[in-house]
Amino acid sequence: MKLVWYRRDLRTIDHSALNYALATGEFVSAVYIATPEQWKRHQMSPMQADLIRRRLTKLCDELSQLNIPLYYMEVNTFDESIGAVKDIASAIEANEVLVNTEYEWNEQQRDQAMGFELASAGISFREFHDKCLMSPGEVLNRQGCYFKVFTPFQKTWRQLFRTPQVIPAVKAGVQTPSRIFTQRLFSENVSFSYPCEPSDAWTVDTDVINQRLRDFCRDKVSSYHQLRDFPAGDNTSVLSPYLAIGALSARQCVAALYAESDGGGLSQGAESWLNELIWREFYQHLIVFEPALCRGVCFHRWGEQLHWKFDEEAFTRWKEGMTGYPVVDAAMRQLKHTGWMHNRLRMIVASFLTKDLHISWRHGEDYFMSRLIDGDYASNNGGWQWSASTGCDGQPYFRIFNPVTQGQKFDPEGRFIRQWIPELKDVPDRWCHEPWKMPSVSSLLYPSPIVDHQTERKITLAIYQAAKEGQVYVS
C-alpha cells in the first residue's frame, strides 16, 4: 500500500508522487492533514483556507474515480501532523509515504522529522521535486553555485529547459473494505477550525481551471507583454491562486503555452508570461539555498541596518486604502475585498509602504500573506524584498515608484481607480490621480495625501545610503 500525503499540490493531473504510487501497481491511498495553528503562524489568508477546503472536495471526487480514498485529519501544528500521518499509514498498512517536496524552512524541518519517524515504524518516506519545472540545484552557475541575479538564472534555465509532458493519473486497483480506515475518510461536510472567508469567486473545478489556462494561452497571451501592466483590463492569466495551492502545476502552464504555439516559437507575449513562471522558480530555488529568508532576514545583510519606523495609523491607512494616493488606495481595496491584487499594483503599494511611509517590508509581507488568496511564501517574500531593495536582484534603492506617475501611466483614464474608489467616480480625468489639486477638493469625501512623495523620497535615499555605508541614519 502506498500513501500519498497531499499538501500544496491539490490535483490528480501531473502529480509526481501520485503517479509514482500508481506506477507501482500497489493499492494507493491519500491523506490531507489540516494544521490550523500552523496556518495561523504562517498568516494564511482566510480566503485561501476556504479555497483549499473547497478544492479538497473536488480532489476527493477525482481520487475516488481513481479508486483512491482520501483520508483527513485536523491537528494543530506541523509537529502533530507527523504523528497523524504515521497513524494513518500504520492503520492502512502502508509500506511507503510519498510526498511532493515543499521548500520552506518549517516544511523542510517537518519532512526531515517525518522521515525519521516513519523509519522507526518500518515505513519508507519518499520525496519528489514537483513544484518547479527544474528543481533547486539543477540551475547553477559555472562554479556550481546558485544564482543571485535573475537574468543569468533565466538564461541558464532556458538553456536547460525542455518542453514538459503532462502526465494524467491512471486508476488504481479497487481496494477491499478491510484496507480502508473508514473513520478518517474525507467528507464534503469537513470544515476547518480556522477562519474562512468565501472564495466562491474562484472556481475549484479542474476542467474549468484547465479551460481558463487554455483560453489565456490561446486568446490573451500574445498581447500579454503589452497589456499586463494595466490593471483596468482583463489582461493577465489570474491563475496564481491555483498555482499557490497546487490545483495547477507549472508544467501544465508551460505545456499549454507551447501547445497553443502550434509547434512554432513563442510569441513575445508568451515569452513574457514564461518569464513570470521563471521568476517563480527563481524565488523557490532561493529559499532552498538561503533558508534564513524564511525567518525574516534580508538577503543583503546591509538591509538589517535600515532605519524603519512603524506608525500604526499610517500602516492602518495603507491597509484600508486611505493614503490619499488613488492608485495605492484602489489596489489595497482590491486586495481587501477580493484577496487578489494585480502584479504591477503589488509593486506600487510595496514601494509606497517601504519608501514613502518607511515601514519595514516585513509588515507588508505579513499583511499580504494574511489577505492573498494566492499567498505563496517564496514569491511573496521575493516580491517584497525586491520592492524594498533588500532582496536578491531587488530593484536599486534609488528607483522609487512615484504613486502619481505610476497611476497616470498604467491607469491613464482612472478606470481601475474609479472601480474601487467610488469617492472619485465624478472627479474629472485631469484630477483623478491628484484629487487634492482639484479646485473643489473640499467637497470630496477622500483623504488628502498622507505624506508628500518628493519629501519622503529624499529621506529614503538618505536612509538607504546610510545603511549601505554602515552608518546610523539620523533624521
428 and 337 in a common domain: yes
Catalytic residues: 276, 279, 308, 343, 361, 384
Q: What angle is formed at CA 318 by the lines to CA 454 and CA 236, rounded to 5 degrees?
A: 95
Q: Within a domain: residue 11?
A: yes
Q: Within a domain: residue 199?
A: no
C-alpha distances (whole Å) from 168 to each of 93, 98, 208, 322, 359 are 26, 17, 16, 48, 47
Question: What CATH number is given to the structural domain containing 142?
Answer: 1.25.40.80
Number of domains making up the chain: 3
Contact 463, 306 (CB under 8 A): yes
264 and 118 in a common domain: no
How distant is the alpha carbon of residue 263 from its chain centre?
Answer: 30
Q: Within a domain: residue 145?
A: yes
428 and 443 in a common domain: yes
What is the rounded distance in angstroms from the CA atom of residue 180 to the CA atom of residue 69? 8
Please count the other Cβ atoms lying within 10 Å of the Cβ belonging to residue 7: 19
236 and 210 in a common domain: yes
98 and 140 in a common domain: no
pLDDT at site 183: 74
335 and 237 in a common domain: no
What is the rounded distance in angstroms from the CA atom of residue 188 to the CA atom of residue 200? 16
Q: Is residue 273 annotated as involved in ligand binding?
A: yes
How distant is the alpha carbon of residue 470 from its chain centre?
Answer: 33
Q: Is 27 left (phi over 0), alpha (psi -120 to 50) or beta?
A: beta
Q: Is residue 188 annotated as involved in ligand binding?
A: no
Q: Does residue 299 sit in helix, strand or coil?
A: coil
Q: Is residue 187 annotated as involved in ligand binding?
A: no
Q: Is residue 353 annotated as involved in ligand binding?
A: no
Task: Write the pLDDT tens digit of every residue in 72-98.
Answer: 999 999 999 999 999 999 999 999 999
What is the rounded distance in angstroms from the CA atom of residue 17 to the CA atom of residue 99? 6
Nearest Cα to Cα of residue 85 among 105, 111, 109: 111
212 and 71 in a common domain: no
CA atoms within 13 A on the CB side of 31: 30
Nearest Cα to Cα of residue 341 among 463, 459, 231: 231
What is the rounded distance in angstroms from the CA atom of residue 115 to the CA atom of residue 97? 9
Q: Within a domain: residue 195?
A: no
Q: Within a domain: residue 189?
A: no
Q: Within a domain: residue 342?
A: yes
Q: Number of H helices and number of E strands within the chain?
A: 19, 5
263 and 142 in a common domain: yes
How distant is the alpha carbon of residue 301 from its chain centre?
Answer: 24
Contact 408, 432 (CB under 8 A): no
Please count the other Cβ atoms lying within 10 Å of the Cβ belonging to residue 292: 12
Q: Please name every residue paired with 34 in a beta bridge, in sequence order, or none if there are none.
A: 74
Q: Within a domain: residue 265?
A: yes
Residues in the chain: 475
Domain C-terminal end among 235, 267, 289? 289
Q: Is residue 475 annotated as involved in ligand binding?
A: no
Question: What CATH number is given to the structural domain containing 60?
Answer: 3.40.50.620
pLDDT at site 177: 59
Contact 220, 74 (CB under 8 A): no
Question: What CATH number is given to the structural domain containing 328?
Answer: 1.10.579.10
What is the rounded distance in angstroms from the CA atom of residue 433 to the CA atom of residue 417? 8
Q: Within a domain: residue 182?
A: no
How distant is the alpha carbon of residue 343 from its chain centre?
Answer: 11
Contact 243, 376 (CB under 8 A): yes
Contacts 24+ apart (CB under 8 A), 72-75: 72/31, 72/32, 72/33, 72/34, 72/184, 72/185, 72/186, 72/187, 72/190, 73/31, 73/33, 73/34, 73/184, 74/33, 74/34, 74/35, 74/36, 74/192, 74/193, 75/33, 75/34, 75/35
Q: Please name every residue paired with 33 in a beta bridge, in sequence order, or none if there are none.
A: 73
What is the rounded distance in angstroms from the CA atom of residue 333 to the CA atom of residue 317? 11
pLDDT at site 265: 86
212 and 312 in a common domain: no
Q: Is residue 237 annotated as involved in ligand binding?
A: yes
**Which are the contacts of 461, defined by CB distance < 8 A and separation ≥ 6?**
397, 398, 400
- Give burial (CB, 10 Å; 0-12/13-18/19+) of 278: buried
341 and 278 in a common domain: no
Q: Which residues of the chain have pLDDT under 70?
A: 177-180, 263
What is the rounded distance in angstroms from the CA atom of residue 338 to the CA atom of residue 431? 27
Q: Is residue 440 annotated as involved in ligand binding?
A: no
Task: Give the containing element (helix H, strand E) for 98.
Answer: strand 96-100
Domain C-terminal end among 85, 111, 130? 130
Q: Is residue 236 annotated as involved in ligand binding?
A: yes
H helical segments located in 66-149: 78-91, 105-120
Q: Is residue 375 annotated as involved in ligand binding?
A: yes
444 and 416 in a common domain: yes
Domain that residue 231 falls in: 132-166+206-289
pLDDT at site 182: 77
Q: Is residue 279 annotated as involved in ligand binding?
A: yes
147 and 76 in a common domain: no
What is the rounded distance in angstroms from the CA atom of residue 274 to the CA atom of residue 301? 31
